[in-house]
Structure 1
Amino acid sequence: MKGSHLGLILARALALSALTAPGAHAGTGVAPPPWTWDLPPGVPAPLVPADNPMTSDKVELGRRLFHDTALSITGTVSCATCHRQDLAFTDGLPQAVGATGQSHPRGSMSLVNVAYASVLTWGNPLMTNLEAQLLVPMFGDHPVEMGMAGHEGAILARLRTDKTYTLLFAAAFPGPDPVTLHHLAQAIAAFERSIVSFRSPYDRYRYGHDASAISDAAKRGEALFFGERLECHHCHGGLTFADDERTATTALAEVQFHNTGLYNLGGSGAYPVGNTGVHEITDKAEDMGAFKAPTLRNIALTAPYMHDGSIHTLSEVLDHYAAGGRTLKDGPHAGVGADNPHKDPLIQGFTLTEPEKADIIAFLESLTDQALLTDPRFKDPFSK
């Protein structure tokens, strides 16, 4: 997607979000009950927009909307189709597939701890607001994801005649006109923010001081991961194991994107057409192939890897970084990624023995929060 087209989609999303946007509790004089974050000691709460405070009623409404396939043009796709709870809110595909069968050029990012992210997509530094971002898959048309552009009125008509939804909207947004697109976006965003994950074995080890929570191999892998020899922690650090973390106490976060030498088409530094990262927004040569470093929490569940799902296993990901970039010997994408002129200087390559690789993978597997995968707070309310 070109930057100009993305700008049009973003403008449309913002316009829809602003449409019929009275104060969430206008005319009631009643403050919503406070939201309690389920966080371990020492973990700060994420930053929440002042105009969309967290409430239990809003999150419950958002959970239903998130799982509702009726919000797609075919009635077969929901937000949860591309963000499955059992896969840490990804979908297991190299590239996401929309309601009409059209493929997205990129894979579905995990929504776990999205409340802590300062940027929300693989390659768009302008997309920083969940309420606006989630309208893009609903109403965007390049590619078609949920395909509801032009059907806004039909969405509202259905919601306003559904008894369950009318009750949920009224509870979440007391006021004269609770069922609006603005409130729909606020509710889904609130639900997505509620999906936090800090219950992995590594959390019990590192923050709960349980020395037996992870294996000796994982402990050795941790030392390698955070060491300067591999440089992993520079892009995958902090609470979320990413580099765009933002909390309620550190509202400003540096937005970073990285070219990791995944491609180098024809030796020019180019990436495949239509999938060039931040370059699509800025049209700057230095932004060619620059993508967000995703969270590594639950990474063992979110294969395939990289923005386009072109690396299948964690072992292959480590091989890519050990080589300082990927070499593709033939085909339309042939090139030596290590020689990409736009590659991030942190991607220098390193030597890794097979036992060391196994240790790092053991560490990465210790970041899996098994309780997240079946947590009833996030489950599909339509499932029997």
Structure 2
Amino acid sequence: MKKRYWLSVWILLFTVGCAEKSTPWQWQLPPGFSPPPTPADNPMTVEKVTLGEKLFFDPQLSGNGTQACASCHKPEHAFSEARTTSIGSTGEKHFRNALSLTNVAYNATYTWAHPELKTLERQILIPLYNENPVEMGATQQEIKILQRLQNDTAYQQLFSAAFPQTSRLFTMDNTVKALASYVRSLVSFNSRFDRYAYYGEDILNDRELRGLELFMSERLECKHCHSGFNFSLSTVHAGTTSSVRGFHNTGLYAEQSAVEFDRGVFAITGEERDKGLFRPPTLRNIAYTAPYMHDGSIATLEAVINFYAAGGREVSDGKYVGDGRLHKNKSVFLHGFEITEEEKLDLVAFLLTLSDESFVGDK
């Protein structure tokens, strides 16, 4: 990714003086695939993606200048993180694990549990301005942040190239649009599964194929929540919308009385039926994105399989004691299942075929 950035910068610096039009972004997708949705007021261009990439990795974007987007969304972890939950620029601990950004532009909704958040441009405002807890800490720091960027010669060139017909270059709106463009560009379709499913290569071995069959089976029911080309029920592409309410309670916790307990979608809607509901994330690049679940409370893929085989879990000690398997909102698809140790190996083998080494390498 860094190599791509510096090559793009060189091209931009060479051409910016005479450029009148932006360069349309060219999607690298499997045959017949549609690109993700793109807002009419923020079309994808090479110049905006290049600017957004630099901003994404730059701690100057945080209020105190210490944290970048990439501090929590690390390329080597498929733009997720190895921490259980994130830590903001002021040291405050977040209550959720940072989601992978793999194919994030295809999401129907954003964050773990917000049914009304449907564009990257709106989603990016949350880590920038969130105050409970503080993440990037941009609230009331916009002038300071923009001044830092404006004082950087590279940014002067990059903003000019990204927004060639804009009188005010250094604005938070332009910054967000560039960030959204870069994050929207993070597509991953170069896994062994992709080569098997979309390019016709006979590349999966017997164990992996058995794992695929298990994944698609009614016994395990994985496919009901992790469906489609992005292995997530919450998926759209250009020209489509999603009418599916893509949130589920997996029986991770019993309902709690603690004020700080994370109730998922309920925090947005206030509806009883939404207690404990979260969006199923993509399974693409799942080998790189441990720990798992919205709070990072399950460490390995093998432990995740055991959790679903049990139909949820009972927490016997600690802060949130109770039997999540008995939660009244638990998904009807989470009824538990019998699975042998050999079948677990098969299922993990299949999940590993969703790894795209080119996506996490050379970033």
Tell me if both proteins adopt one fold, taking TM over 0.5 as the criterion: yes
**Which residue in the other structure is 1:176 paired with?**
167
**Which residue in the other structure is 1:6 paired with?**
none
Task: Select the residue among 22, 25, 32 that pairs with 1:35.
Answer: 25
The answer to whether the aligner puts 1:114 opposite 2:117 as a matched pair is no
**Which residue in the other structure is 1:204 paired with?**
195
Could you tell me how far 1:161 is from its partner in structure 2?
2.1
**Which residue in the other structure is 1:298 paired with?**
285
The answer to whether the aligner puts 1:352 opposite 2:352 as a matched pair is no
**Which residue in the other structure is 1:83 paired with?**
73
Could you tell me how far 1:330 is from its partner in structure 2?
2.5
**Which residue in the other structure is 2:135 paired with?**
145
The answer to whether the aligner puts 1:318 opposite 2:305 as a matched pair is yes
**Which residue in the other structure is 2:93 paired with?**
103
Q: Identity, % of aligned pairs?
A: 46
Q: Deviations over 1:90-120 (max 9, x none)?
A: 0111100111111110000011101100111
Moved more, 190-199 or 139-148: 139-148
> How many residues matched?
345
1:263–1:271 Cα contact (<8 Å) kept: no
In structure 1, distance between residues paired with 2:181 and 2:174:
10
Q: Deviations over 1:224-272 (max 9, x none)?
A: 0011111100110111100111101323452311000001147xxx788
**Which residue in the other structure is 2:8 paired with?**
none
The answer to whether the aligner puts 1:194 opposite 2:185 as a matched pair is yes
**Which residue in the other structure is 2:5 paired with?**
none
| Counterpart mapping for 1:8-27 below 5 A | none
In structure 1, distance between residues paired with 2:294 and 2:305:
16
The answer to whether the aligner puts 1:308 opposite 2:308 as a matched pair is no
Unpaired segments ≥5 residues, structure 1: 1-28, 380-384
Q: Deviations over 1:301-359 (max 9, x none)?
A: 10110000011111111111111111122333222221111111111111000000110
| Counterpart mapping for 1:198-347 below 5 A | 198-212=189-203, 214-265=204-255, 273-347=260-334
1:123–1:277 Cα contact (<8 Å) kept: yes
**Which residue in the other structure is 2:56 paired with?**
66
RMSD, aligned CA: 1.7
**Which residue in the other structure is 1:45 paired with?**
35
In structure 2, distance between residues paired with 1:132 and 1:118:
13
In structure 2, distance between residues paired with 1:368 and 1:272:
38
Give the letter for the 2:73 counterpart: H
In structure 2, distance between residues paired with 1:280 and 1:180:
31
2:62–2:145 Cα contact (<8 Å) kept: no
Q: TM-score, normalised to structure 2's length?
A: 0.91
**Which residue in the other structure is 1:369 paired with?**
356
Could you tell me how far 1:30 is from its partner in structure 2?
5.3
Give the letter for the 1:113 counterpart: N
Report the secondary structure of 1:203's partner residue. Answer: helix
Report the secondary structure of 1:98's partner residue. Answer: coil
